[in-house]
Amino acid sequence: MNVSSKENKKIITYQKGFTLIELLVVVAIIGILSSVIVVSLTESRMKSRDAKRVSDAQSLAKALGLYQSSFQRYPIQEIETALTGMDAASLELKTNNFISTIPLDPLNGQGNYKYYYQSDGNSFILRFCQEKTTIQGLTDGCDNTITP
């Protein structure tokens, strides 16, 4: 007896594409990685700007040292004043060619950032600010000084 019967075949179909959960997991991973990268770049840029500020302050101190060598005194500025390029101490340094320009803030390139200078003629205090420093001996904020 030959009975012919239809076999019930299960047809399996695969859908192409991703599930919503898979997409959400991928988006979350990309978001986490991008935030880590942004934080890392921000800190690197802050460190770079702080290093530039230290370099600029040292350049100002060298210019003041050259001025002192020529005139046997530092430019007198009894009250702490921002070196803006238009103040008396800046003008003396620029007029006598000890420095070509007073450095500007590396963050925005404008005069918003200042190096503060005070001198009685025999010595000087040059004060400058840092964003977030890892440079040994310096602190965050505006309590960093250079003296002769």
Domain boundaries, the chain: 20-146
Alpha helix stretches (DSSP H) within 11-137: 20-71, 88-95
**For residues 53 and 106, is the Cβ–Cβ distance under 8 A?**
yes
Torsion of CA 25, 27, 33, 37, to 10 degrees: -170
In tens, the pLDDT along 26-75 reads 999 999 999 999 888 888 888 888 889 889 989 999 999 999 999 999 99
10 Å Cβ neighbour count for 68? 19
The model carries a pTM of: 0.71
Report how far residue 67's alpha carbon sits from residue 71's, in angstroms, rounded to the nearest whole number: 6
Report how far residue 60's alpha carbon sits from residue 73's, in angstroms, rounded to the nearest whole number: 15
Comparing 15 with 20, which gets the higher pLDDT?
20
Least confident span in 87-96, 108-117, 125-134: 108-117
